[in-house]
Structure 1
Amino acid sequence: MRINENTLLEGEKVVLVPYNAYHVPRYHEWMKSPELQQLTASEPLSLDQEYEMQRSWREDNDKCTFIILDKQLWSDPMVQEEQCMVGDVNIFLTDPNDFSLAELEIMIAEPSYRGKGLGKEVTCMMMCYGMSKLGIQKFEAKIGLDNTVSIAMFKKFHFRELSVCKVFKEVTLGMTVDHSIRTKLLGDMAYVKERQYQIPPSQPTGADAMTMT
């Protein structure tokens, strides 16, 4: 989505940056994992297909994607941005007749970063961004039935069960943002800084990025 192509969001534990071509090789390595394929209901792609997917996510008006970075590593000027990557977060506008409804999807790809509160902060940051910048009023999350950790996290945010699909082995959770929820979320996340994203000088861009291995 073009709206976030130059946006950086800085929290306490994480930094969210737009998904660019130089992030693709690391992302592609993640998605070779059968565990992540199962958790995200994804099929394995070739590297070229992954680059094409990145371009579509950047261009399409119904997808808003950020890469999640470890803030501590990101703060070190000697560490390249690709080395700071720990996952991604997406907002999908799933109903062309209702732009106030969005599906929220979070992936902490690096196992060593799970269970450390990153998913909680990222969820709050992305919901605030969706409400403030995209006018989202209703959020849904589709989660595999075996992913009890993610289900429990969303329920802590007052998402409730909407449906269960036994064929795809997933549950759909949802929440409507009322005034009290909006006020609390925006207040709790007032520390988040939004700034202009600058492409790291060491990173290739455009066609050059597609030659990375």
Structure 2
Amino acid sequence: MRLNQNILLLGKKVVLVPYTSEHVPRYHEWMKSEELQRLTASEPLTLEQEYAMQHSWREDADKCTFIVLDAEKWQAQTGATEESCMVGDVNLFLTDPGDPSLGEIEVMIAEPSCRGKGFGTEAVLMMLSYGVTRLGLNKFEAKIGQGNEPSIRMFQKLHFEQLAVSTVFQEVTFRLMMSEPEQQWLLQQTSHVEEKPYRDRWLEPH
């Protein structure tokens, strides 16, 4: 999505940056993992296909993707590559042409050492807030494999409620309706998040 290609979102634990060609090699290595393929219902791609996918996602108006960086590592390393700070990604898909207020959210913390630290939770909260304030969304869905207990617990903790279970796809669909109280709660949870122009940090003295 071109809308977010010049935006950086700075949280406490994670930094969200647009998915660029710089991130593709690390992302490609992650997706060789059979575990991640299973959890994300993905097929392995060649490196060339991964570059093509990154390019199309940047251009598609119905896909908003951010790479999740470890904020502590990102802030500590002067001139470090973003690739070395990558821990996962978070996505919003505008899947229903008949309902532009609905977004499907996905999050992946690919680095095993970075799981269980709250990175996924903050990334999802930041993405929900971005969806509400920048994309005009007020309904969110998440489709999670039935065996992915950590993700199921996380989305339940973030006020998502079970909507449906598919035995065919072995996944559970959760939904969050963004009522006024929910929106206030969300904005409170993300009040610390700073939006900055992407790439400016490399110009700042440390």
What is aligned with 1:54?
Answer: 54
CA drift of 1:3 comes to 0.5
Alpha-carbon separation, structure 2, partners of 1:118 and 1:27: 17
Alpha-carbon separation, structure 2, partners of 1:115 and 1:9: 21
What is aligned with 2:165?
Answer: 164
Aligned pair count reads 201
* TM-score normalised over the length of structure 1: 0.92
CA drift of 1:200 comes to 7.8
Q: Deviations over 1:65-90 (max 9, x none)?
A: 00000111111114221100000000
Task: Point out where structure 1 has 5 or more consecutive residues left out of the alignment.
Answer: 202-213
Alpha-carbon separation, structure 1, partners of 2:112 and 2:96: 32
Alpha-carbon separation, structure 1, partners of 2:80 and 2:6: 21
Q: Deviations over 1:31-74 (max 9, x none)?
A: 00000000000000000000010011100000000000011111
Task: Determine whether 1:33 maps to 2:33.
Answer: yes
Amino acid of the structure 2 residue aligned with 1:125: M
After TM superposition, the structure 1 stretch with the greater mean CA deviation from structure 2, 155-164 or 124-133, is 155-164
Amino acid of the structure 2 residue aligned with 1:112: S
Moved over 6 A (4+): none
Alpha-carbon separation, structure 2, partners of 1:200 and 1:136: 29
What is aligned with 2:128?
Answer: 127
Alpha-carbon separation, structure 2, partners of 1:188 and 1:174: 19
What is aligned with 2:83?
Answer: 82
Task: Note closer, same or farther for the CA distance 1:186–1:61 as it changes in structure 2 (3 Å cut).
Answer: same
Amino acid of the structure 1 residue aligned with 2:4: N
CA drift of 1:107 comes to 0.2
CA drift of 1:188 comes to 2.0
For the residue of structure 2 that corresponds to 1:167, the secondary structure is coil
Superposition RMSD in Å: 1.1
The equivalences for 1:133-144 within 5 A come to 133-144=134-145
* TM-score normalised over the length of structure 2: 0.95
Amino acid of the structure 1 residue aligned with 2:22: Y
Indicate conservation of the 8 Å contact 1:139/1:176, yes or no: yes
For the residue of structure 2 that corresponds to 1:8, the secondary structure is strand
Task: Note closer, same or farther for the CA distance 1:199–1:58 as it changes in structure 2 (3 Å cut).
Answer: farther
CA drift of 1:190 comes to 0.9
Alpha-carbon separation, structure 2, partners of 1:14 and 1:108: 11
For the residue of structure 1 that corresponds to 2:38, the secondary structure is helix
For the residue of structure 2 that corresponds to 1:88, the secondary structure is strand
Indicate conservation of the 8 Å contact 1:81/1:200, yes or no: no
Task: Point out where structure 2 has 5 or more consecutive residues left out of the alignment.
Answer: none
What is aligned with 2:42?
Answer: 42
